[in-house]
Amino acid sequence: MTKTKIVSFHESFSGCGSVSKLPLLLLNENVLFAVVFALCSLVSCSKFEGGQEVPAYLTIDAIKVVDDNETSWQVQYGAGFFATQSIDAAEVSIYFEGDTAEWTLGVYQLPCKLPVLRKGVAQRVVIHPVIKQNGIASTRIAYPYYNEIKLSNVVLAEDSVTQLGTLNTTMNRFTKVVWHEFFEKIQVDVSLDTCVEILADNPELICTGTGSGVVHVPAAMTELNFWGDTTVTVDDPTAYLYLEMDYRTDYNLSVGIKGPSTAGGTEQTNSAIMLYANDHWQKIYINLGKVWRYHSHYPQFRLFFTAFNPDGKEGNVYLDNMKLLVL
């Protein structure tokens, strides 16, 4: 039997850029066993009535983000603008006729095989796509920009596996793309500082499409700052504010925002996260809501990056598929 090592605790709270769920916490096996045992004892009279001891199983291979033809994104940005297969995990809930509410099975890292102590036909199975907020496994969240997946009439049988395969989700149609940069070969320029160039002649280093962004860091430079050359405007201080991007870097890379706190005020820079050097492409979902608060939610700012080179080594920072999303 596959052991669930992740559980989620839900609590609403206010604050700019905060999602309405606390982080999904990782527990060790002993603690998890105690929690599950206690919960099973509490709900055994209703959830497991009938004494079922042999579970049924659900499997999920992956979750993909696909185009939603009912929105204007495909026309405005082109097919596949939001496409990704990097969704890390899924929160699964199930509902049987007669239940008072959906029953949350837990959060499972994909691909997964999850046990269900129910049998028969589930009227509804709901899957919430989950991502690593700021790249940290212990802060997994149900990503607010992705729509939940609803399946109907899912058959469950004891000691049998129901395969759900690869599932598709779409973007929340209220999502706004306030800034983006894809570094395609046909572009004349990029919407970042002049030190950011388009890499189009080395397919082995390109993340997706026909190009990626590259920043060359000279050996003599211990720090290299660069930022967006376009001012972003976000006028809702309660909005979710996330930067999605793919990166590969020879250096530790700080990502944050640059801007004033008041109209006519002095610009300041604040870091939201430090990304560590890695030798492969990696997708990251960065919550900029907290760092935006340090700027008193002033509605205009720019993205800001710093590559740290304390050892004085020549190298590069690579970027791709950058999208600043508001909801």
Confidence band, pLDDT 50/70/90 cuts, at residue 5: very low
How far is residue 137's CA from residue 6's CA, in Å, rounded to a whole number?
Answer: 10
Cα–Cα distance, 279 to 49 (Å, whole number): 52
pLDDT tens for 126-165 read: 999 999 999 999 999 999 999 999 999 999 999 999 999 9
Domains of the chain: 6-169 (no CATH), 176-326 (2.60.120.200)
pLDDT at 73: 63
Nearest to 19 by CA among 144, 108, 115, 136: 144
- State the pLDDT at residue 185: 77
pLDDT at position 48 over 70:
no
Q: Residues 242-295: pLDDT tens digits?
A: 999 999 999 999 999 999 999 999 999 999 999 999 999 999 999 999 999 999
The distance between the two most distant Cα atoms of the chain, rounded to a whole number of Å, is 72
Residue 53: the pLDDT is 84
State yes or no: pLDDT of 23 exceeds 60. Answer: no
* Nearest partner of 21 among 30, 33, 29, 12, judged by Cα: 12
Task: Report the distance separating Cα 104 and Cα 193, nearest Å.
Answer: 46
pLDDT at 44: 33
Tokens describing residue 76: 């405005």
Using the structure block, give the residue that is written with the tokens 């080395």: 202
Query: What's residue 74's pLDDT?
Result: 61
Residue 25's pLDDT is 38
Amino acid residing at 289? G
| pTM for this predicted structure | 0.81
In degrees and rounded to multiples of 5, residue 97 shows phi and psi of: -55, 130
Question: At a CB cut-off of 8 Å and minimum separation 6, what does 148 contact?
Answer: 126, 127, 128, 129, 142, 169
